[in-house]
Structure 1
C-alpha cells in the first residue's frame, strides 16, 4: 500500500510540474494565435492523461487545480481582454475545468478491463471529450453569466452585427479554438496513455 501511495504521489508531482510549466511559460500550455481572443491550450491533454491514469477522483481534483490556476492567471497575467473577463469569474474558470478532469477518469474506469484496441479508442474519445467539455461549458456558462449585459463582452469577441446572440458569437469566436484543441488532444492522448499504462503496470 505504501509503495502504491508513493507511486501515485510521484505521478501527481510530475503532472503538476508539467501543468505549471504549461500554465506559466508562454507558448507551451497556451498558444496565442489571435491577440484579442483566448489562446489555444494544450492543458486538456495533461488533464486527460492524468485522469485516465489516476481515475475520476484524482482527475476531478486535478481539474479543480486547473480551474484555480486559471483564475489566478486571469488576475495576475491575463493574455487578452476576453480571458480576463471570462476567467476572473470563479464559475467560468473552475466548473469547466472540474468536469474536464472528471469525465476522462470515468471513461478510463469504465474501460479498464476492456481489450487493448477498445481501450485505445476510449483514450481517443476521452481526449476529445476533455477538450470539448472545457470549451462547451465555458461557452454555456459565459452566455448565462453575461446574459444580462452581453454588450460588455460582445465588443471584444469580433465584428458581429447588432443583435447577434451572445452564445452564437461565443461559438464562432471560441469554437475554432475548441475544435483544434479537441483534435490535438484526441490524437495525442492514446499515444501517451497506452505505453505509459504498460510502464506503470510493470512498476506495480
Structure 2
C-alpha cells in the first residue's frame, strides 16, 4: 500500500511540475494566435492524461490545482482583456477546471475494465476539452447576463442584438473544437504506454 501511495505521489508531482511549466512559461500551455481572444490551451491534454491514469478523485483535485493556477495567472499576467475579465472570477476559473479533471477519470474508471478501454481514452480527451470550453461559455453567459456589453466589446464586432451565449460560442468555440480534437487524438498515444509502465512498476 505504501509503495502504491509513493508511486501515485511521484506521478502527481511530475504532472504538477508539467502543469506549472505550461502555466507560467509563455507559449507552452497557452498558445496565443489571435491577440484579443483567449489562447488555445494545451493544458487539457495534461489534465486528461492525469485524470485517465489516476482516477476521478485524483483528477478532481488536479483540476482544482489547474483552476487555482488559472486564477493566479488572471491576476498576475493576463494575456488579454477577455481572459482577465473571465478568469479573475473564481467560479469561472475553478468549476470548469475541476470538472475537466473529474470526468476523464470517471470515464476511464468505467471503461478500463471493458474491451472499450482505448475508446475510453479518446473519449476522455475529448470530454476534458469540451467540458472546459462549454462550462466557461455557460458560466460566462450567466455572470455577464446583465452587462454583456462590457465583455462583448473585447470579443469583436458583433451586433448588440446577438445573444451573449452565441457570441461566446463563436469566439471561444473554435478554440474548443481544436483543443478537443488534439486532446482526443493524443491522450491514447500517451496513456496506453504509461498504463503498461505503471502496471509493471
CA-atom RMSD in angstroms: 0.5
- C-alpha distance in 1 between matches for 2:179 and 2:117: 21
- Unmatched 5+ stretches in structure 1: none
- How many residues align? The count is 201
Deviation per CA, 1:118-158: give whole Å up to 9, x if none.
Answer: 21111001100000000000000000000010001010011
Q: CA deviation at 1:162?
A: 2.1
Deviation per CA, 1:20-69: give whole Å up to 9, x if none.
Answer: 11000011100000000000000000000000111000000000000011
2:13 corresponds to which residue?
13
1:24 corresponds to which residue?
24
- C-alpha distance in 1 between matches for 2:105 and 2:123: 12
TM-score by length of 1: 0.98
* SS class of match (1:156): helix
- C-alpha distance in 1 between matches for 2:146 and 2:36: 23
Structure 1 moving runs of 4+ over 4 Å:
none
- Unmatched 5+ stretches in structure 2: none
TM-score by length of 2: 0.99
1:82 corresponds to which residue?
82
2:133 corresponds to which residue?
135
Q: Is the 8 A contact 2:126 2:183 kept in 1?
A: yes
* 1:91 and 2:91 aligned: yes
